[in-house]
Amino acid sequence: MKIIVLVKEVPDTYGDRKLDLETGLAERSAGEVVLDEIGERSLEVALSFADKNANTEMVVLSMAPESATATLRRALAMGATSAVHVADGGLSGADLGLTAEVLAAAIQRTGFDLVIAGDLSTDGTGGVLAAMVAELLSVPHATSLSSIEIDSEIVTGIRVTEDGTMQLSAPLPAVVSITEALPDARLPNFKGIMAAKKKTFETFSLADLGVDPDASESARSIVIAVAEKPARGPGLKIIDEGDAGDKLADFLLQNRLV
């Protein structure tokens, strides 16, 4: 079984996250960058399967700037078999469509039985990437799974919705995405850290994958304006002179808070 796990380097949600007001891109130097937690959980799904199935190959795949090598090494230290890093200056500011196209091309090149992704990254929060990748690969997808069972022929899982639960299944090859209901990832250990240095680490450019970021036939979303988040205004203090309840109700109505 060959499992591709999609991982992503993101600004640490516990640190400062800033947008460059000129380019509209995330400022990676504004704070720490980490492997997205949902990507780590995706890897944990693959690792747990590999714990019980010796002939499992796990490839972590990321489209990220060249500086993201350390986060991919972390995934290798956690137990992934090899890493594929798509890095190309032409990908700066890539939208979901281009990202899906690039990842699908890399997956095609690598080969796969199953692709596991997180349902939503903490920076872009697009939530549709897994489905887009599946569409480009022409394979079925089962997204937002809160539990997952992988078999040699089929992947099954449960998606929780507001109204109930859905039992999903897809024959392999397939793409799935998982939610934060699945377990935390294991930490790397020392042996994993040392072994990661010797694992296969491939880097692809857009040219390697045959993807043209400026292809005019594909619709591309672009950022047309970006602005500083408005400063938080002063609070309103309501002093009770017998009419505080009315004032409070007026405030809520005026601000459409009820």
Partner 1 sequence: MASRILSRRDLDFMLFEWLKVDELSARPRFAEHSRDTFDAVLDLSAELATAAFAPHNALGDTNEPQFDGERAHVIPEVGEALRAFNNSGLLSGAMDEEVGGAQLPHVVDRACFAWFQAANNSTAGYAMLTAAATRVLLAFATERDVERYATPMIEGRFFGTMCLSEPDAGSSLADIAVRAELQPEGTYRLFGGKMWISGGDHEMSENIVHLVLARAVGAPRGIRGLSLYAVPKYLVEPDSSIGERNDVALAGLNHKMGNRGTTNTVLDFGGGRYRPGGQAGAIGTLIGEENRGLAYMFQMMNEARIGVGAGAAALGYTSFLHAVDYARTRSQGRPVDAKAPESSPVPIIRHADVRRMLLTSKAYVEGAMALVLYAARLLDESETGETAAERDRATILLEVITPIVKSWPSQWCLAANDLAIQVHGGYGYTRDYPLEQFYRDNRLNPIHEGTHGIQALDLLGRKVRINSGRGLTLLLDAIRSTAARAANSDEFAGPARTLTAAAARIEEITALLWADGDPKAALVSASSYLEALGDVVVGWLWLEQVIACGDRDDDFYRGKRLTANYYFTDILPRIHTALDLLEARDQTLVELDDSIL
Q: In sequence order, what are the beta bridge partners of 256?
A: none
H or E element, residue 166: strand 165-171
Helical packing angle, 69-78 and 37-52, nearest 10°:
30
d(CA 126, CA 89): 22
Which of 162, 25, 184 lies closest to 118, judged by CA? Answer: 184
Q: Contacting partner 1 (CB under 8 A), which of 53, 197, 205, 245?
A: 197
* Site for partner 1 contains 74 (CB under 8 A): yes
Helix, strand, or coil (residue 60): strand
* Site for partner 1 contains 193 (CB under 8 A): yes
Comparison of 70 and 249: residue with beta carbon closer to partner 1: 70
* Site for partner 1 contains 190 (CB under 8 A): yes
Q: Which stretch binds partner 1 (CB under 8 A): 69-77, 101-109, 151-159, 199-207?
A: 69-77
Q: Contacting partner 1 (CB under 8 A), which of 133, 136, 196, 211?
A: 196
* Site for partner 1 contains 14 (CB under 8 A): yes
| Alpha-helical segments (H) within the chain | 37-52, 69-78, 96-110, 129-137, 190-196, 206-209, 244-254
Residue 230 preceded by cis peptide, ω within 30 = no
Q: Are 168 and 145 in contact (CB under 8 A)?
A: yes
Q: Are strands 147-150 and 154-160 parallel, antiparallel or unpaired?
A: antiparallel
Q: Contacting partner 1 (CB under 8 A), which of 10, 49, 63, 73?
A: 73
Comparison of 51 and 243: residue with beta carbon closer to partner 1: 51
Comparison of 81 and 110: residue with beta carbon closer to partner 1: 81
* Site for partner 1 contains 194 (CB under 8 A): yes
Comparison of 149 and 180: residue with beta carbon closer to partner 1: 180
* Site for partner 1 contains 77 (CB under 8 A): yes
* Site for partner 1 contains 185 (CB under 8 A): no
Binding mask 154-183 for partner 1 (x = CB under 8 A): ------------------------------
d(CA 211, CA 44): 30
* Site for partner 1 contains 46 (CB under 8 A): no
Residue 61 CB, shortest distance to partner 1, in Å, is 20
* Site for partner 1 contains 70 (CB under 8 A): yes
d(CA 121, CA 134): 17
Residue ranges in contact with partner 1 by CB under 8 A: 14-15, 70, 73-74, 77, 187-191, 193-194, 196-197
